[in-house]
Amino acid sequence: MNNYTKDLESTIATLSAKGKGILAADESAGTITKRFEALHISSTEDTRRAYRELLATTPGISEYIAGIILYEETLNQKASNGQLFPELLKKLGILPGIKVDKGLVLIPNTAEEQTTQGLDGLNERLAEYKAKGACFAKWRAVYHISNNTPTALALRANAEGLATYAALCQANGIVPIVEPEILIDGDHTIERCSEVTESVLHSVFHALHKHKVKLEWTILKPSMVIHGNKSTTKTTAEQVGKATVTILRRTVPAAIPTINFLSGGQTPEDATANLNAMNVLPGNPWNLSYSYARALQDYCMKTWKGDAKNVAAAQKVFLERAKLNSLASVGKYKASMETETTTA
């Protein structure tokens, strides 16, 4: 561990810089293919590379994006200039990260609750990713909300997986992103989401403590506390911000340097407004920022459409979305700024 102290300290300092966030560009080939096909874009290894290169090489993006989480395919690809993606990103002032989990599996004897696979061989894979230039990693666990879920079994199984992964990352000099995602699917209220989020985060930090994970070298990537997407009771950004910060204060130690939220099915505008609502509240001990996928990329991908002629326009849209989230991460975003954004 001591051999990697400087690496871990340097990485966390970069990723927790005020006004910067993390881009999640780690969609699996299957997931990005669905998004491409919806826009009539052919999904091949080359088009996926071209799209992710478009994101990484957007002029000025390093002002708002400190790191990019890559899918393994991208980690091993070369950009059009012949550089491997990790080398390209570092030259651009952006840290390369890597998604390391192997997806979701059902937990036996539950009502279709899930846990995450990929711990087998993870130590060896992390050493390989480190050698290829990865500075940080991501592992996602998911929780379903109903009147009876998540169960104690699902809470424990996912917390143990996240903590084991995080400990292995730090042992290999890689900063772990711990991502407990509470799914937005359902008709639950924001109050029910608050209850579940408190239980989830309490179980995660209890497990991190047991596994001796250094919180100072850890990033939390949680969901926001928000109503379900089928709920008839909607909430304002101010309500989401207050509810989320309330639960964070109850469960997340101040030693965590940065909390980078997932957008989890929200519109780009809602994800930005909700983040801003948290940052206008005084007294938060952590950096509250973003690690969005679709909420940063949606308009960009729709503008690009798989056509090289649209790269500059798509990059302009992406940069503007990143800038708005940067402003939200310091509490300086206003909804009126959206009128200045080119939306497709």
Cβ neighbours around 265 below 10 Å, total: 17
**4's tokens:** 């990697």
**106's tokens:** 């059902």
Per-residue DSSP letter, 81: T
**42's tokens:** 């052919």
Choose the catalytic residue: 53, 179, 320, 323: 179
Per-residue DSSP letter, 4: G
The span from the CA of 273 to the CA of 332, in Å, is 10
How many helices (H) does the chain have, and how many strands (E)? 12, 10
Q: How far is CA 226 from the centre of its chain?
A: 17
Residue type, 314: A
The span from the CA of 41 to the CA of 25, in Å, is 17
Measured torsion, CA atoms of residues 23, 29, 34, 40, in degrees rounded to the nearest 10:
90
**Cβ neighbours for 285, distance < 8 A, ≥ 6 positions apart:** 254
By the 8 A CB rule, do 149 and 143 touch? yes
6 is a catalytic site residue? no
Prior bond of 285 cis (ω within 30°): no
Residue 252: closest CA among 218, 278, 227 = 218
Say how many CA atoms lie within 13 Å of 162 toward its Cβ.
31
**71's tokens:** 């899918």
Q: Three-state SS for 140?
A: strand
179 is a catalytic site residue? yes
**Cβ neighbours for 316, distance < 8 A, ≥ 6 positions apart:** 342
Choose the catalytic residue: 20, 138, 221, 323: 221
Residue 137: closest CA among 215, 239, 22 = 22
The residues annotated with a catalytic role in the active site are 179, 221
